Amino acid sequence: MTALTIRLPNSVHESIKLLARKDGISVNQFIASAAAEKMASFQTLDFLRREAALGKREDFEKFLKLVPDAPAQEGDELSSDADAVVRTRVKKA
C-alpha cells in the first residue's frame, strides 16, 4: 500500500470526516473508496467510448428494425415533454 499526502480545503475534510463516521469507516477508507469509484467511472467511460467507436450505424438500424412497432406497456409511456424531444431527435437523424 502507498501513503499519499493530499491537501484539502477544511470544509471538504470536515465533510469527509462526517460522512466517513456516518458510514462507519475511516477517513482513509472513505477517500480510497471515493478514488476507486471515480477511477471506475473514467474506465467505464473509456470502455464505452472504445466500444461505441467500433459500432456501425447500419448495424444499429438493422437491429432496430427487428423491434416490433408496438405501444409502450402501461407505466412505460413517455411524458409529453419526452415525446417531443424524441420526435425532434428522430427528425434530425
Q: Give the residue extent of every domain in the chain.
A: 8-66
Strands (E) located in the chain: none
pTM value is: 0.60
The candidate with the shortest Cα–Cα distance to 55, out of 45, 65, 63, is 63
**pLDDT tens sequence across 34-85:** 999 999 999 999 999 999 999 999 999 999 999 998 888 888 888 777 667 7
Residue 81, pLDDT score? 76
Cell numbers standing for residue 28:
482513509
Residues in the chain: 93
Contact 14, 28 (CB under 8 A): no
State the helix-helix crossing angle for 10-23 and 27-54, rounded to 10 degrees. 90
DSSP conformational letter for 83: H
Cell numbers standing for residue 4:
499519499
